[in-house]
Structure 1
Amino acid sequence: MSAIKVNFKNSQGQQLSARLEKPANAHPKAFAIFAHCFTCNKNLTAIANISRALTQTGFAVLRFDFTGLGESEGDFANTNFSSNIEDLQAAADFLQEEYEAPKLLIGHSLGGAAVLIASLRISSVEAIVTIGAPSDPEHVMRLFTEDLGAIEREGKAEVNISGRSFMIKKQLIDDLKQADENHDFHKIKKPLLIMHSPFDQVVDIENAAIIYRQALHPKSFVSLDQADHLLSHKEDSLYAGNIIASWVSRYIKMHEPSHLTTDKQVVTRTQETFTTEVMTDEHALIADEPLDVGGNDLGPSPYELLSASLGACTGMTLRMYADRKKWPLKEVRVHLQHQKIHANDCETCEEGSQKIDKIERVIEIEGDLSIEQKERLLEIANKCPVHNTFNNPVEIMTKLRES
C-alpha cells in the first residue's frame, strides 16, 4: 500500500498526525477512516494489517492519532470522548476537501463506540465496522476503576493503562457518562459489521451482543475466535482485514476500477519491509519473503511467483491445445521447484561460484487420454510462452523514474 503522511486540524485548530494509505495504483475506489483504541496510536501493527487488506481491494485508508496521542498536537489530559468524535468529523472533512468523502468507518475498541456515534454526523458513510467495541462509552472507565475515587476528589489523577501513564481528568469521566446516556444504536441506519473475540479480556463479548440486538438490519457478526483485544497476533488482524474487505464489497458503492498510473503492464510497491504490493490493470496481490529471512510471509516470494507463472502458463497452454483438439482433458496440475545449481559446463567453473537457475516441472494430467495424446501434451508444455521466454535471451532495461 502507498502510505503518505498527512496532517489536518481538529476543531481546536491543533494539528493531528495521520497516514493515508492508497492502493498500489494510487487510484482509490473509495475512502475509509480507521479509529483506533483508547490510548493507542495509528502505528499499531494490527491496524496496518487491516488497512493493507482494504487497500488490496481498492480502498484508501486514513488512520490518525487522536488529539494528544502519538504525533498529534494537544494535551491528552484535556481531551474527552466527545473530542474523539469531533476528531473523526475533522478527518472526514479533511478527506472530503482534499480527496473524497469517506464511505467506510472502522473503529477498534473505544474507537468502535466513537464511529457508531460519528456515523450519524458523517452523511457520506455507507457502512460501519466495529472491532472489540464496548456497547457503552463509559466502559473505558473500567480500565482505571481503582483511580476513580482520586479523580473524583482531586479532579484528576495519573493512571496506568497497558504499562503507560496517562493523566485522566474528571471531565473525561463526566463526558463518558453523558455519552453513555445519549447513544442510541437504533438511530444507525447503515450496514454494520460487529467483530469481537470471546477471549477478549478487556471488553467482554457481551458488549457485541448488546450492540447486535439493538442495531437495525443489515447487521453482521463475526467471531474473532482466540484473538486478544489488541489483535496482537498477526493471523488475527489479517483475518479481520480480509473479512472486512469481503463484507464491505456488498454495501459500498465503489468507483469503476482505474487504470494504472503507468504505461507498463505491472506496478509493484515496496516500502519499509519486504512486503510488496503487486498490481496489474485489474488485479492485485502481495509478494513477500519468509519469516526466517526477515519478511512477513504475507505472500509468495519472487521466485515462487516466477515458478507460478511457468506453471500457470503451462496449464493454460495445455487447456487451450486440448480444447482445440477436442480431447477429454479434465485437469492439469503442475508441480514446480526452483533452485540454483552449479553449472556443469562453463568457462568459470574452476572459480566455484558460477550457478545457473534450474526449474523442475512435473505435470499431472487427468482425463481419458491415450498414451500418444499425453506424450503430445508433454511436447506442447515445452512450447508455452513463458517457457519460451525462459529459454530465450532476456534483456532487462532499467532506468530511474521521477515520482
Structure 2
Amino acid sequence: SDRTLKSELPFSFFVVIIIIIIIYSIAATASSNEMAHQSSSSPGEVHVGKITVQNNYGENLVGLLHETGSTELVILCHGLGASKEETTMGNLADAITKEGISVFRFDFAGNGESEGSFQFGNYLRDVDDLRSVVLYFSGGKHAIITVLGHSKGGNVVLLYASKYHDVPTIVNVSGRYDLKKGIDDRFGKDFLQNIKRDGFVDVMGKR
C-alpha cells in the first residue's frame, strides 16, 4: 500500500498543478476581456476638424467632423433656419461621441457657413446636399451607420431614405408634420403680404 501511495502522489500532484494553471488562465482571460471592454466603451479624446464638401451645384457645404477614432460615423442634419452650430446639434454630437462614435454635422446650402442662398422648403435640394455628404464619406475609412435629422432635417432624412437605400439606420427627431404651422413665428405674420408687395422677405441671419 505504501508503494501504491508513493506511485500515486506524483500523479495527484500533477493533476492539482494542472487545475491551478487552468483556473489561473481563466481568471487572466476574464480580466483581460474586462479591461478590453472598458477600453472600447470609454472613448478617448475627440478631435474636431472643419471639412468642406462640394454639392452637385458647385456650392461648398461646411461641416464639423468629431473624430473619436471609430470607423462608425453618424451624420447630423439641422432644421429650418438653423445650422450645425445649433444647441441641439451640439448636444447630439456630444452624446454620440461619448459612446465612442464619430459624428459629422454640416450646414445645408444657404445656412450657416455653407455657400448658396437660403430658400424656404427646398427639401429636395437638401436631400441632394445630404447625398453629397454621404458620397464624400463613402469608400473612406468611415462607415456611415446612421443619418439623423432634427425638425426639418428629420423630414429630409426620411426623403433621403425613400430615395436611397445605402444607410442602415435613419433617425427622425421631432420632424415637422404640419408644415403650415410655425411659419408666422419665423417670418412674421405679414410675410405673405410682404412677398406679394416687395417680392421678397427678410430672414434674419440668412442670405
User: Shorter-chain TM-score: what band?
Assistant: 0.5 to 0.7
SS for the counterpart of 1:158 is coil
Question: With structure 1 as the length reference, what TM-score do the two structures score?
Answer: 0.36
The Cα of 1:136 is off from its aligned counterpart by 4.7
Residue type of the partner of 2:124? S
SS for the counterpart of 1:105 is strand
Select which of 95, 103, 106 maps to 1:61.
103
Name the structure 1 match of 2:194. Answer: 150
Q: Structure 2: 5+ residue runs without aligned partners?
A: 1-45
The Cα of 1:165 is off from its aligned counterpart by 4.9
Select which of 152, 158, 175 maps to 1:133.
175
CA separation in 2, counterparts of 1:126 and 1:134?
22
SS for the counterpart of 1:133 is coil
The 10-residue stretch of structure 1 (46-55 or 60-69) with the greater mean CA deviation from structure 2 = 46-55
Select which of 157, 173, 198 maps to 1:115.
157
CA separation in 2, counterparts of 1:147 and 1:129?
32
CA separation in 1, counterparts of 2:110 and 2:59?
9
Cα gap change, 1:115 to 1:58, in 2 (>3 Å): same
Residue type of the partner of 1:135? Y
CA separation in 1, counterparts of 2:182 and 2:163?
22
Question: With structure 2 as the length reference, what TM-score do the two structures score?
Answer: 0.67
CA separation in 2, counterparts of 1:40 and 1:84?
13
Name the structure 1 match of 2:126. Answer: 84
Contact 2:79 2:151 in 1 (8 A): yes
Contact 1:67 1:79 in 2 (8 A): no
Cα gap change, 1:22 to 1:71, in 2 (>3 Å): same
Contact 1:110 1:137 in 2 (8 A): no
Contact 1:17 1:72 in 2 (8 A): yes
SS for the counterpart of 1:53 is helix
Q: Structure 1: 5+ residue runs without aligned partners?
A: 168-403
Cα gap change, 1:154 to 1:101, in 2 (>3 Å): farther
Cα gap change, 1:128 to 1:15, in 2 (>3 Å): same
Contact 2:111 2:206 in 1 (8 A): no
SS for the counterpart of 1:92 is helix
Q: Where do residues 321-360 of structure 1 align in structure 2 (5 Å cutoff)?
A: none
In the TM superposition, what whole-angstrom CA distance separates every residue of 1:295-344 from its partner, at most 9, and x where no partner exists?
Answer: xxxxxxxxxxxxxxxxxxxxxxxxxxxxxxxxxxxxxxxxxxxxxxxxxx
Name the structure 1 match of 2:58. Answer: 13
Contact 1:113 1:136 in 2 (8 A): no
In the TM superposition, what whole-angstrom CA distance separates every residue of 1:211-256 from its partner, at most 9, and x where no partner exists?
Answer: xxxxxxxxxxxxxxxxxxxxxxxxxxxxxxxxxxxxxxxxxxxxxx
Contact 2:110 2:206 in 1 (8 A): no
* Structure showing greater relative contact order (alpha-carbon pairs closer than 8 Å, 6 or more residues apart): 2
The Cα of 1:83 is off from its aligned counterpart by 1.4
The Cα of 1:149 is off from its aligned counterpart by 2.7
CA separation in 1, counterparts of 2:63 and 2:57?
17
Cα gap change, 1:98 to 1:146, in 2 (>3 Å): farther
Residue type of the partner of 1:41? S
Structure with greater proportional helix content: 2
Structure with greater proportional strand content: 1
Larger Rg: 2
The Cα of 1:110 is off from its aligned counterpart by 0.9
Q: Where do residues 281-320 of structure 1 align in structure 2 (5 Å cutoff)?
A: none
CA-based RMSD of the aligned residues comes to: 2.4
Cα gap change, 1:50 to 1:13, in 2 (>3 Å): same
Q: Once the two structures are aligned, what percentage of the paired residues are identical? A: 29
Cα gap change, 1:117 to 1:78, in 2 (>3 Å): closer
**2:67 is the alignment partner of 1:22:** yes
